[in-house]
Structure 1
Amino acid sequence: MKNIALRSTKIFPLIVTRAALVSFLLLSAIIGDLKGVPPFPPSARFPFYLLLFSTYGLSALYILLLSLVKTERINIYLQCIIDVVVVTYLVYITGGSTSIYSVFYTLIIIYAVLFLGKGGTFVVASLCVIFYGLLLDMEYYGLLNPLFIAVDDYPFQTSYVLSRLATHLLSFYLIAYLASFVVEREKKAQTLLAEKEDAFKQLDLLHQSIVESVNLGIITINRSGRIKSINRAALEITGFTFAEVIDREIYALFPRLEEIKHSPEKKDRFELEIGTKEGKVLILGCSLSPLMDSGGEQIGDILIFQDLTMIKKMEEEYEKSRKMALIGEMAARLAHEIRNPLATISGSLQVLRKDMESLNIDERLFRIIMRGKEQLENFMRDFLLLARPMPGSFSVVSLRELLNEVLDALRYNECWHEGISVNNLMEGNFSFYANPSEIRQVLWNILLNASQAIADTGVITVTSRHLPHGFEIAICDDGCGIEKKDLKKVFEPFFTTKDRGTGLGLAITRRVMEDLGGRVEIESTPGSGTKVTLFFPAKVMEEQKDGASSRC
């Protein structure tokens, strides 16, 4: 059925065209006949109309042949043979050698070229020559009675008949040759065009494959600043879908791009911060180049970029490690240079304390000196803790017990006041393997900051929850909060906004948590409070089990 439908699509237009031509001849004949100038001899009226009406029946026969004859070439040959016979009869009844309808032979030859090729066309041309020649010969020798003259009154000489035959023979073969030549050239042109189109498609496919395969984001922008194309990597980096960005202004996605593009200082490479659909901030390394057409005229721009967020984080981590290494080196030297004089001062103060009354020493000044000494000792302790782990062995730590110890100790600190209340909502008791002194210091640093943030009245809330890969504890306060500009600096050593702070507490907290394989995060809103979340990995709990097993 599929092959029949395919043949129908190619042959059916030929059948329709033939029927249309017959209809035109029939209409012309009727009009001419009504006006008294018929296109046929009077004696040929009935055969002429009969032939034209019979042609409609032949069209139905040709349609039937589509299903009966499976081969297209044979189908066309059958139609050509029948058409040659029909045209020969038409020529015979309309004047024989003088008939103007012999031109229809050329139409048969032309459509044969389209379906049968060069060889088949010359076969059909030869068939036309044979039938037309036989008709002229049979009329000349009296074997056929011309409908327009008496039997014994044939008016044409031998030279006329031969010239007509030669003229038609030459024209038939010349038309067959020229038509074949034109059709073959056209087929070659189509083949070449198809090859070029295929090569272009392959090149375009290769280009698209390269663009889609690279891990760099590539966006093309027109002169109006609208996105005309975007590759897979660009969509993955930005988190948008194709429908969300196509034909959208590029400056909506890359806000600072317009400023950089029109800046007097052109940069080949630059960095941009953009916000993703999920609200994340990405750092992109970008390159903006002009997009040219084949004539060398700029039609837009090409933006190429890659995600540098992880690289920047690694650079920050490296810088932090470098600073910590420097601090460790400084701590080792300071410990030697300061501890010995500090020990001497402490010892001397202890002796003076015993003889305060006999030596008439001002007690207020003595307390100031002692407080200064204690501050210096606390600073040295924090400084050494930041640079290296606190001495002490790892053991099983009960988070609830440590939290209660720290809260009890914090209530006797000078920063604590009656307006502070604690809401401990910890669920269960989290036990894990760590250095208890370091975990105690972490909790102390965070709870101390929370209590110092509450000026009058406020609540410190402690919550906990299990995670698929560990657990977390969150300490929240409703104090003054942290300014946005300071939030990125809170983990930097020596950064503080307090008059008496060392700026080492959160830096120590971060170092301890990272040594455990966990992390610390801070969220804060100025005027509303701060939330500090400690994430402990599952491995610290597994190490506890391993340690218990080994002791058994």
Structure 2
Amino acid sequence: GACLVLPRAGVVALAAAGSLLYAGIVVARTVLPLTALLEPLGETTALEVLTMFLNAGTFLVVALVAGGLAERDRAARHELERHRRDLRDLEAFKAVVLNSVGAGLLVLDPEHRVTALNRAGEAITGWRAADAIGRPARALWGEGVPVAAIEAALAAHPTTPTRCETTLTRPDGTRVPVRLAFSALRAGDGRPLGLVAVCEDLSEIRAMEDRVRQADRLATLGRMAANIAHEIRNPLASLTGAIEALARPAATGEDRERLTQIVGRESERLNRIITNFLEYARPAPLVPETVDVAELVEDVLVLLEHRGLPPGLKLVRELPPALAWRADPQQLRQALWNLCLNAVEAMPGGGELRLAATVEGDVLRLTVSDTGEGIAAADLPHVFEPFFSTKPGGSGLGLALVERIVRDHGGEVALRSLPGAGTTVTLTLPARHG
């Protein structure tokens, strides 16, 4: 027991003292027999003397070994306590670092369970760290984050964070748009330990984007109001002049017919300007449904033929017989009508108007091309701006409306044109589900 309290030297000294005391008792029993207290035991034999020395030596050896073991035990205990203190310090340091980061931080183990969540992460996700730790990550951000695909991307490019955006639902039901940046968490020997996700709340960014879009729309509407007044003034002047001429008794039958044509043409122009303006300024919500693309294109071409085509203009269709796609049929028909009308007006002396549809993966491409006059290179960057037109009397809203319709479908518009060689417009529409 002394070895647990005394240092090694003290244990050896105590053992030596005990050995000496033992030897003294043996010697005293022989040389100075205490006959008054003990019964004489006779002379001490050589075997007893040898046993005495063996016992004393064993006592010292045991003391040395036990003292060494006790010293090692104390050193191990001190080392363990030091490691525990270092671990507590490291945990405190980690907590300070995690909570001082402005972005949300989530640490996941290899089974995608949450092992750490900082204060910013608590504020973004609505979860307390104590409640989140140990739960699957999908409990915090739902099923919209492809963690397996992210891990595969990080395995292929370990040093490049993988990002994704999703909308998570907090425990109180509020929805928050977030951006997540994932990095691989690995041990010193390269073993995967899980993932670290940096979570950024995009609510303010989305609100700012909405405000910018609203400001842009108001500014555009202001410019449109000024331009629409200018655009309406010209056909109104023509209408007024034609109607006044028709009211004169001196107007002949031939004059009346010509003036009536002017009234009809300018009325159609006015209607087109106002319709395009209203459709651009107050876009209707998308009502997607399954559309037969070939049938929709054919409807547009039939309307175009009834309107009247220049002599020598040829219509070419390159459409799959059974192509179904989810889109808003009314808005898609309007976009194709505007493109076809522009193409016909670009070929007053005839030419070829070609409409084609192809599917590439989960993307539909609709192409409208003509062999008309083309567009100058200086005008190409402006063709989708409201009220920009290269045609005399054009409203400048046709292509702007096309671009808005396609963008609302989540797609893109590409336009290629060369002066004298015609124009090709390609609408790219992604697949819509649900």
Larger fraction in strand = 2
Structure with larger Rg: 1
Q: Which has the higher contact order (CA 8 A, sep 6+)?
A: 2
Larger fraction in helix = 1
TM-score for both structures, normalised by structure 1: 0.39
